[in-house]
Amino acid sequence: MLTRVLFALALICGATGLAQAQETEVLALGLADHEVSEQELATGETPPAPHFNTPAVAYVLAAGLMKGDMVEITLINDDRALLSNGETLAEDRARFLLQAGKRGVPAGGWPEGSYRAAVKITRDGTTLIEQATDPIPFD
């Protein structure tokens, strides 16, 4: 009897752990003046923000993604999408970093306005996550 109770408890705890391990979430979302790496984001420090005369990269680090999930990251000026990148995952991913931006500076600098990074994660046609950063001006 005790063995059955322990076995049932192990199954319940294991199922709970599995559900938590597969929870999709955004670990980091923002704008940087360079391409970022997972290692850089793991430090917890916010990368330097872009200026009108520096590169601008929108980034998202997401966790708990499954095969077939679609991750899209967009660099937005006011309400206009400037640059976008998307990928449909070929396999389950514990963590996934995706970026969209420009390594160089547009001629004359970035247009005036407020910029933000926006991410959308979908699974089987259903939106799981859709969020954006607060707008920031490129000074």
Q: Tell me the CATH number at 110.
A: 2.60.40.10
**40 domain residue, yes or no:** yes
In terms of Cα–Cα distance, which of 39, 111, 46, 108 is closest to 75? 111
Q: DSSP class of residue 17?
A: H
Range of the domain at 42: 23-137
Q: What is the count of structural domains for the chain? A: 1
Report pLDDT digits (tens) over 18-65.
444 469 999 999 999 999 999 999 998 899 999 999 999 999 999 999
Query: How many alpha carbons fall within 13 Å on the CB side of residue 104?
Result: 3
**3 domain residue, yes or no:** no
| Cα 59 to Cα 34: distance, rounded to the nearest angstrom | 10
Report pLDDT digits (tens) over 8-26.
444 444 444 444 446 999 9
**12 domain residue, yes or no:** no
**108 domain residue, yes or no:** yes
**8 domain residue, yes or no:** no
**17 domain residue, yes or no:** no
**102 domain residue, yes or no:** yes
In terms of Cα–Cα distance, which of 57, 71, 68, 79 is closest to 27? 71
**4 domain residue, yes or no:** no
User: Does the predicted model carry a pTM greater than 0.85?
Assistant: no
Question: Which residues, 6 or more positions from 110, have their beta carbon under 8 angstroms from its beta carbon?
Answer: 50, 52, 53, 56, 77, 138
